[in-house]
Structure 1
């Protein structure tokens, strides 16, 4: 049975790189169904590539093959791998931290190193800078179309050997929840945190409550405001801040029809801390 192929890169669509990858996949099997996850990952941003896989993969059926290419170490000795998730999907990617969120949040059953003597685009052996085309999408297409089995990808290696990015966990102390701004809801500039709804609700929050939100970067205060905890943006006025539960069941902060990220120059990552406190 054929499976879907889903592709993610930081290549953008302004040149022929993604098209070349599609051409390789279709050359493996003209009937293969190929879908985009995104090609707008910020350049070299492995963290965001990891998060976008986590954001998406749960909603795809078993057997789906994901190809994720954000590869600042292309041509180095970093490994090329295919992981099998606990939900029975596959991710073809460099071993550079791209599967960090999948490992932590969903789980990974197995890891195989790609045997490039078998799974590499023919006549591409002298190319060292486009493994997305020559190794990853070629292997992914062969796996998705059934040309090879997962066992034919290459040798098994321990799951514990995977490269992982540091992930901090949200916490609660003295009626304040502490977390990080993990990623942006890019198009709208909303802030998505690592704070789960269940942890947030330990504060005894109800819709309509006033919430104090503080954001720090590298120890300095960047943003502080009081806002409503709402079900949706309709619970706030135009340009007003709102705290809500996003599509991943985590806390998010937004300005209604404005970009809070742009307005206050707020970024993402381990250095961007957020504190949330219910106003008594």
Structure 2
């Protein structure tokens, strides 16, 4: 385990100042880590907590990671709830109110509970990122929407609560990446029915494939091909071989990659939606199987961050 400590405490315990400078470097102001160490997110969260004199609570994306959520980089800024503390690089200080029942322990650190973490993620993250973080948290540490709603009532019309209220009914633990969450929100924002996630495709009552998202009534699915399809050759081969089998079961799959523009994604999905008997969507009515989309529309058509 990486040694992380407050410099003043180490000096008080007898560590010579020249030894501190020789073998350790600042992680945050007054917090030190060995020079040879590459800090993990847990290391940085520990250091952030120490900067608060052990009185703060780790919150936001870092809290979600400590609670088990995936897709959080080690360099993610650490958010802490604390009464007062100066800002510094890599640290986001939030002087928000919180109650004792909104704090738990994860990885030996005080962190916000899943419900309070969701309350903060849905308010402070950009909308298209917030849904991904909420999905990931729900997947790792399930929370009840009612508990988040209770916090909205507790704190009233605070910053970002309107966005949170819109996103909360859309949270889906079936998303397997942040990009899948972004793609699902793009479809919902532009009038498509809320897609089901992780749809099983059966062969003699045995699921041989699970589709990222889609609609059973039209047997139309949308899948995001992420980085693993380029770097994980066995997975790529497996996915390639299942495509004809899925098609033989009557499904059409629209495959999306990172380089696809949102308007082009929507055009392709809408054309397939109409072709397979889906109802016309007013805000997408200018899409046809033969004409390109004209202009932008709706929310969520900007590229994912």
Structure with higher Rg: it is 2
Whose strand fraction is larger, Structure 1's or Structure 2's? 1
Highest RCO, 1 vs 2 (Cα 8 Å, sep ≥ 6) = 1
Whose helix fraction is larger, Structure 1's or Structure 2's? 2
The normalised TM-score by structure 1 is 0.28
The normalised TM-score by structure 2 is 0.27
